[in-house]
A and B are shown apart, each in its own frame.
Chain A
Amino acid sequence: MASHPLDGHPAHLEHHFVSSEQQFDAAKMGMWLFLITEILLFSGMFVLYTVYRSWHPEVFALVSEVLDWRMGGFNTLVLLASSFTVALGIHYAQKNDNRKLIINLVLTLIFALIFLVVKYFEYTGKFAHGIYPGAAFDPHGIVDGLDYAKYNVPYAAQFFSIYFVMTGIHAFHVIVGIGVFIWITLRASRGEFSAAYYTPVELTGLYWHLVDIIWIFLFPLLYLI
């Protein structure tokens, strides 16, 4: 491991920490605090969903069938798989297996991109039939013998506004995650991580698992019930 030029402690260890262990714990706690703010951000939107659903349960039950559970379910499995590869990556980082760490980071990136591609086809499929967030909501057209005009009922627009905002902000988190994972993968390919220092991988993993958890709740609430 590279040592600090002056006093011989590990290069990754900042002066104000007693040990690598303390630095790791502090970084991880900071990440958990950030994740709480993320949970609170999304909980605002879950509260919105809860209030509108309790006011208009029959509308939500009707219009949620517009969302394709096969695409949503497939994306759920894709995100779960990406969480699995992140966890595997950290496992291999802890075992000093840099090659397998990189393989798992790249797999995670691929899963994240698949998620976004599916989301793209979902969004454009909805836009093609006038299902937009907000005032532009104007469902029309016939898909597989199903006339979208029947979804033009009061409060259906609210459901789809909630759908687009919640999944949109979630997708934004996926895009940010992709950016961070590219950076982490590049650093891993330069051999910067080892069992002695893998804090950035651990923190990015925590973020990614949270993005996965948000989707675990979004999928049944929006697509299934």
Chain B
Amino acid sequence: MSQAEHHIVPIKTLTAVIAVLGVLTIVTVAAAQFDLGSFNVPIALLIATIKASFVISIFMGLKYGNKTNALILAVGLIMVVVFVTFILLDTEFRGDTSATESGTIMQSEQTMPAAESH
């Protein structure tokens, strides 16, 4: 009847996780001081995702508890991916399918400086 059988995360583990999170915060700030071109965003997102994974698995205990909650999270994250992907399918290629000129709408707008996009 008691919750005593719940997994108790050792203080050593919690301390190790907060240390890693602190170091990764410094790493993301350091990485941002260099202009890595098109890698700026992916690297920042990668570090943030690693940090979030530590918080979710250890602090929130998803690694230890009922796997149903991990499934709920996974379904939620899949929905976020669907959300982002389908919005970008619109905004990145808006109007391209009905264009009568060759090239993308973005390209034809660049040849007409007066045109204000979006």
Interface residues of A (CB under 8 A from B): 9-10, 13, 19-21, 24-25, 28-29, 32-33, 35-36, 39-40, 43-44, 46-47, 50-51, 53-55, 61, 69, 73, 76-77, 80-81, 83-84, 86-88, 91, 94-95, 195-198, 205-206, 209-210, 212-213, 216-217, 219-221, 224-225
| Known contacts A84-B14, A84-B18, then 15 further A-B pairs from the complex at CB < 8 Å, ordered by chain A residue | A9-B1, A20-B3, A21-B3, A28-B66, A36-B73, A47-B84, A84-B15, A86-B59, A87-B14, A87-B59, A88-B11, A209-B56, A212-B55, A217-B52, A220-B32
**Cross-chain contact of A220 among B1, B48, B58, B87 (Cβ < 8 A):** B48
The distance in angstroms between the C-alpha atoms of A32 and B72, with both chains bound, is 7
The distance in angstroms between the C-alpha atoms of A87 and B18, with both chains bound, is 10
The distance in angstroms between the C-alpha atoms of A39 and B78, with both chains bound, is 11
| Secondary structure call for the A interface | helix
Q: Given the known inter-chain contacts A40-B79, A216-B52, please indicate yes or no for A80 contacting B40, CB distance below 8 A.
A: no
| Contact in complex: A51, B88 (CB < 8 Å) | yes
The distance in angstroms between the C-alpha atoms of A205 and B56, with both chains bound, is 11
| Contact in complex: A88, B73 (CB < 8 Å) | no
Would you give the 0/1 interface string for B1-27, flagging 1 where the beta carbon is closer than 8 Å to chain A?
Answer: 111111011010011011001100100
Q: Is B41 an interface residue (CB 8 A)?
A: yes
Q: Given the known inter-chain contacts A83-B59, A196-B2, A212-B55, please indicate yes or no for A91 contacting B9, CB distance below 8 A.
A: yes
Which residue of chain A has the shortest Cβ distance to B5 in the bound complex?
A21
Interface residues of B (CB under 8 A from A): 1-6, 8-9, 11, 14-15, 17-18, 21-22, 25, 28-29, 32, 40-41, 44-45, 47-48, 51-52, 55-56, 58-60, 65-66, 68-69, 72-73, 75-77, 79-80, 83-84, 87-88, 91-92, 117-118
The distance in angstroms between the C-alpha atoms of A183 and B66, with both chains bound, is 27
| Contact in complex: A224, B32 (CB < 8 Å) | yes
The distance in angstroms between the C-alpha atoms of A196 and B52, with both chains bound, is 29
CB-CB under 8 A from A206, the residues of chain B are 60
The distance in angstroms between the C-alpha atoms of A51 and B5, with both chains bound, is 47
| Contact in complex: A20, B28 (CB < 8 Å) | no
**Cross-chain contact of B87 among A10, A36, A47, A213 (Cβ < 8 A):** A47
